A = this chain, B = another copy of it.
């Protein structure tokens, strides 16, 4: 019992350190050795708190789901879903490394299941028939995950040296060969006011509006 609590705490310490490391230096910098270093211990010690690296990643993904706000029960379904989708996007942006992991983990953790449960319950409470619930869920999650994926990409880009980036793009990129791409970049994407993230709310409302119409 006491050692249960101690072990749980240690496991959480390990997971927290792993997330911190991945946030700060990227997923490829997260190795059992670097994680041990970050915790001031040796690699093999970690294996007493986590069965292996795969389980470590599973645990990290479950924490990501835990950080996402569930749709608040007191709100009307559209507002509730807007809250949860925005929160999901924000969490995934905070942990960009997690986006590709969401796809490759085959061991759903309790937080992931609880999250799905809450979302399905919200759609059900809205009075949607099950087939529409399925569509709504698939469509909204696809959008959220896909958007997060693109944002994670941009985040990496922005992390590079600007000069390096410009050079790389210019070299890979013959303006004459890609006129529309060039025009789009020059006249819109590289203008001061542009923010890729603005498209999130736009798309989310598009989907919620469409679903609301279908639900009625």
Contacts and interface: CB of A to CB of B under 8 A. Distances in A.
A206 B202 contact: no
B172 A108 contact: yes
Q: Is the interface of A mostly helix, strand, loop or mixed?
A: helix
A136 to B, nearest CB: 9
B188 A134 contact: yes
B202 A139 contact: yes
A205 B100 CA distance: 26
Contacts of A131: 188
A109 to B, nearest CB: 8
Nearest to A206: B210
A104 interface: yes
Copies of this protein chain in the complex = 2
A133 B99 contact: no
A74 interface: no
A6 interface: no
Nearest to A179: B117
- Which of A143, A144, A172: most chain B Cβ within 10 A? A143
Interface string A141-180: 1111111011011001100100000001000110001111
A43 B139 CA distance: 43
Given A103-B149, A150-B141, A211 B206 contact: yes
Given A104-B100, A107-B172, A209-B210, A203 B139 contact: yes
B139 A143 contact: yes
A173 B117 CA distance: 11
A8 B206 CA distance: 45
14 contacts: A104-B153, A106-B156, A108-B173, A120-B181, A135-B198, A135-B203, A139-B199, A139-B206, A142-B145, A142-B199, A143-B146, A146-B146, A206-B206, A210-B210
